């Protein structure tokens, strides 16, 4: 939803600070000096929010396809956020020290020509530079007049800079151009600066100045997020063409790309035995295999923009496998096949445990084993069942063993989960022939718990489909023996085997019954219960 903005109002033409403008001389700083005295938020740190940078940002545009709520926000999390916070504190400590020393020198009536200040002039220059990116051209001359660096420096060392008047002028200017939800923050920095000046409180003054930069950053984020929302339909529709060009410039000539083609060729040779092959089906099966938790195979470079996304899906597959392991133990303790109602009942109780605070997912073995034992005993014996500590301990030991990805039970159930995921991906592929038919924000509309295999398959399908649209021709071209790539009317590459040409891959996916087998078949197992032993 777009941010409502008030009608623009012209800022006051001549605020108190701008009355002195004779013999101004801009003070120049080297790039090294600017870097040394720069505040945490600068025009350079906000450069990625500019429209040309957004349009050139391949990862951002790719993520935009999958997330209709994608937006910029201040980076205050993780190690980077912690480092940013520490640097910010050091910076404002230095500004505070300079203000204190400046006040002392002015009180001692030191000659203004001998007073050296660095942090404050650069700070005001950065405020000016950011402001100029936020206001219309008509307001920029007034900003340059008011925030002339040489003038501000001169007034600071002479002790005649009225920072309270500056704060009120800046607040009026920002309220003309910011979203209404920012008005409270604008009022806050005005109040803190005024309080700091009237009470000779440097810390309050510093807090107000820090809030100025936070408001400026928030406004720049608002503008960038509005641009993303407005441009998103275009970015989605143009994603295939853009990514083809982007990867051609940044990836195709690299060794990493050759390794990705080798990955596809190996899977092609593994999965396809007859002469009439389906290269799209090969790609889908190989891509689903990337989600196998027991495998440490790296994602091919053609999935560069999807590494975090696929890693999350891989974790979801692991959750789905662990849930199957738990249900397997449940059926063993029941000593019979569980009904649909019984399985759903246990699933709800397990998910409640896994979602509880301080839960470490499948590492909460004690709670999981106890819940499975209690539920099975209730169904077998009723509410008056007796707890057998040895059985609970045996159940815990079995879960510990089979929640490991190297466990034979885990790997058998893992293959079945991937079969289910592949089936969903394959069925989803039948319904789509072009990215232009994707509903904007489609992945945000996928419903259900992330543990659900159909949910994983639906989300993975969108990643695989876009990847095929971008790299399908390259995948087909790398197959041995060489194939002739034929372009279909829909723009999807197809493969020709001698005189008989295959149809476009997506059309093939619609009309064919594709096998649902993923990985090697499971042998030596006659039923789920045969996998369980204490």
- Within 8 A by CB and 6+ apart from 424, the residues are 453, 454, 456, 457, 458, 461
Within a domain: 121: yes
Q: What is the pLDDT of residue 79?
A: 84
Q: What is the pLDDT of residue 204?
A: 96
Give the pLDDT of residue 113: 86
pLDDT digits (tens, 9 = 90+) for 169-216: 999 999 998 888 999 999 999 999 999 999 999 999 999 999 999 999
pLDDT at 509: 42
Q: Are residues 178 and 67 in the same domain?
A: yes
Q: Is residue 9 part of a domain?
A: no
Phi and psi at residue 296, in whole multiples of 5°?
A: -105, 20
Residue 378 has pLDDT above 60, yes or no: yes
384 compared with 272, residue with greater pLDDT: 272
Is the Cα dihedral 435, 439, 440, 446 positive or negative? negative
Token pair listed for 121: 């002039």
Residue 320 has pLDDT above 90, yes or no: yes
341 within a domain of the structure (yes/no): yes
In terms of average pLDDT, the best of 4-13, 233-242, 369-378 is 233-242
Confidence band for 487, pLDDT divided at 50, 70 and 90: very low
Q: What is the pLDDT of residue 14?
A: 35
- What's the pLDDT tens digit per position in 77-101? 778 888 989 999 999 999 999 999 9
Work out how many domains the chain is built from and give that number.
2
* pLDDT value, residue 530: 36
Asked if the model's pLDDT at residue 366 lies above 80, the reply is yes
Q: Is residue 132 part of a domain?
A: yes
- For residue 445, pLDDT over 90 is answered with no
% of the chain with per-residue pLDDT over 90:
56
Q: What gap in Å lies between CA 41 and CA 37, rounded to an integer?
A: 11
Check residue 78 and give its pLDDT: 79
Q: Which domain holds residue 166?
A: 16-237
Lowest mean pLDDT among 223-227, 349-353, 530-534: 530-534
Residue 255, CB-side half-sphere exposure with 13 Å CA sphere: 0
- Alpha helices, DSSP H only, in 28-180? 31-37, 51-56, 58-66, 78-107, 119-134, 140-146, 149-158, 163-177
Report the DSSP pairing between strands 484-487 and 493-497.
Answer: antiparallel
On the question of pLDDT at 526 being above 50, the answer is no
| 257-277 burial code (b ≥16 CB/10 A, e <16) | beebbebbeebbeebbeeeeb
- Is residue 4 domain-resident? no
Whether residues 148 and 296 share a domain: the answer is no
- Answer yes or no: do 222 and 342 share one domain: no
- Contact between 261 and 488 under an 8 Å Cβ cutoff? The reply is no
Mean of the per-residue pLDDT values for the chain? 80
Last residue of a domain, one of 205, 237, 269: 237
Looking at the structure, tell me whether residues 33 and 143 fall in a common domain.
yes
Tokens of 219: 């406004």
Reduced to 3 states, what is the DSSP secondary structure of residue 518? coil
Give me the pLDDT at residue 480, please. Answer: 58
Residue 387 has pLDDT above 80, yes or no: no
pLDDT computed for residue 349 by the predictor: 85
**How far is the C-alpha of 234 from the C-alpha of 237, rounded, in Å?**
5
pLDDT at 529 over 80: no
Domain end point (choices 220, 237, 254): 237
Sorting pLDDT into bands at 50, 70 and 90, what band is 31? very low
Per-residue confidence band for 112, with pLDDT thresholds at 50, 70 and 90 = confident
Q: Is residue 10 part of a domain?
A: no
Q: How far apart are CA 307 and CA 299, in angstroms?
A: 7
Residues 160, 177 within the same domain: yes
Question: Strand, coil or helix: what is 85?
Answer: helix
Q: Are residues 280 and 199 in the same domain?
A: no
Q: For residue 333, is pLDDT > 50? A: yes
Residue 91 located in a structural domain = yes
Are 231 and 254 in the same domain?
A: no
Q: Are residues 231 and 292 in the same domain?
A: no
Domain annotation covers residue 182: yes
Read off the pLDDT of residues 47-60 as tens digits, 9 standing for 90 and up.
999 999 999 999 99
Report how far residue 372's alpha carbon sits from residue 310's, in angstroms, rounded to the nearest whole number: 30
**Residue 360 and residue 218 share a domain:** no
The reply to whether 251 and 227 lie within a common domain is no
Highest mean pLDDT among 12-21, 113-122, 275-284: 113-122
The whole-model pTM stands at 0.75
Split at pLDDT 50, 70, 90, the class of 276 is low
Tell me the C-alpha distance between 468 and 462, whole Å.
10
Picking from 211, 237, 263, the residue at the C-terminal end of a domain is 237
d(CA 318, CA 312): 10
Domain shared by 391 and 416, yes or no: yes
On whether both 181 and 316 belong to a single domain, the answer is no
Please compute the mean of the pLDDT values over residues 454-481 and round it to a whole number.
Answer: 91
Q: What is the mean pLDDT of residues 107-123?
A: 90
Residue 167 has pLDDT above 80, yes or no: yes
Q: What is the mean pLDDT of residues 220-245?
A: 94
Q: What is the pLDDT of residues 126-159, one digit of tens each?
A: 999 999 999 999 989 999 999 999 999 999 999 9
pLDDT of residue 274: 57
């Amino acid at each position: 939803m777009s941010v409502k903005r008030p009608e623009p109002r012209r800022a006051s033409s001549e605020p108190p600070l701008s009355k002195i403008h004779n013999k101004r001389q801009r003070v120049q700083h080297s790039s090294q000096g600017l870097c040394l005295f720069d505040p945490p938020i600068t025009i350079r740190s906000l450069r990625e929010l500019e429209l040309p940078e957004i349009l050139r940002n391949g990862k951002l545009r790719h993520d935009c396809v999958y997330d209709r709520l994608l937006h910029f926000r201040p980076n205050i999390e993780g190690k980077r956020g912690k480092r940013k916070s520490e640097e910010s504190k050091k910076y404002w400590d230095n500004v505070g020290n300079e203000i204190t020393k400046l006040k002392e020198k002015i009180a001692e009536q030191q000659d203004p020509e001998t007073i050296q200040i660095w942090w404050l002039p650069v700070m005001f220059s950065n405020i000016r530079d950011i402001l100029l990116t936020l206001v219309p051209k008509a307001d920029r001359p007034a900003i340059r007049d008011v925030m002339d660096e040489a003038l501000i420096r001169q007034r600071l060392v002479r002790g005649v800079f009225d920072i309270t008047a500056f704060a009120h002028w800046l607040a009026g200017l920002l309220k003309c151009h910011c979203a209404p939800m920012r008005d409270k923050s604008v009022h806050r920095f005005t109040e803190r600066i005024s309080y700091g000046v009237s009470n000779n409180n440097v810390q309050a003054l510093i807090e107000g100045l820090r809030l100025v930069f936070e408001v400026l950053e928030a406004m720049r984020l608002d503008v960038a997020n509005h641009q993303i929302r407005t441009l998103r339909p275009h970015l989605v529709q143009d994603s295939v063409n853009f990514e083809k060009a982007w990867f051609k410039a940044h990836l195709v000539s690299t060794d990493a790309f050759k390794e990705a083609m080798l990955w596809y060729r190996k899977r092609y040779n593994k999965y396809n035995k007859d002469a009439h092959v389906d290269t799209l089906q090969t790609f889908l099966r190989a891509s689903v295999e990337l989600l196998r938790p027991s495998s440490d195979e790296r994602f091919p470079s053609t999935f560069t923009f999807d590494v975090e996304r696929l890693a999350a899906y891989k974790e979801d597959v692991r959750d789905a496998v662990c849930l199957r392991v738990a249900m397997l133990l449940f059926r063993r303790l029941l000593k019979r096949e569980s009904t649909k109602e019984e399985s759903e009942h246990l699933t709800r109780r397990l998910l409640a445990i896994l979602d509880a605070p301080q839960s470490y997912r499948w590492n909460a073995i004690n709670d999981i084993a106890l819940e499975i034992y209690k539920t099975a005993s209730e169904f077998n014996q009723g509410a008056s069942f007796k707890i057998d500590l040895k059985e609970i301990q045996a159940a815990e030991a079995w879960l510990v063993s089979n929640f490991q990805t190297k466990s034979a039970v885990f790997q058998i159930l893992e293959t079945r989960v991937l079969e289910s995921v592949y089936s969903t991906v394959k069925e989803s592929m039948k319904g789509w022939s072009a990215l232009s038919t994707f509903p904007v924000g489609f992945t945000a509309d996928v419903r259900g718990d992330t543990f659900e295999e159909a949910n994983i398959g639906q989300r993975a399908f969108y990643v695989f489909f876009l990847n095929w649209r971008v790299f399908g021709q390259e995948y087909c071209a790398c197959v041995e023996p060489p194939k002739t790539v034929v372009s279909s009317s829909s723009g999807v590459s197809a493969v020709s085997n001698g005189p008989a040409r295959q149809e476009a891959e997506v059309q093939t996916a619609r009309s064919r019954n594709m096998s649902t087998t993923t990985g090697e078949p499971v042998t030596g197992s006659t039923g789920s219960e045969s996998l369980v032993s204490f």
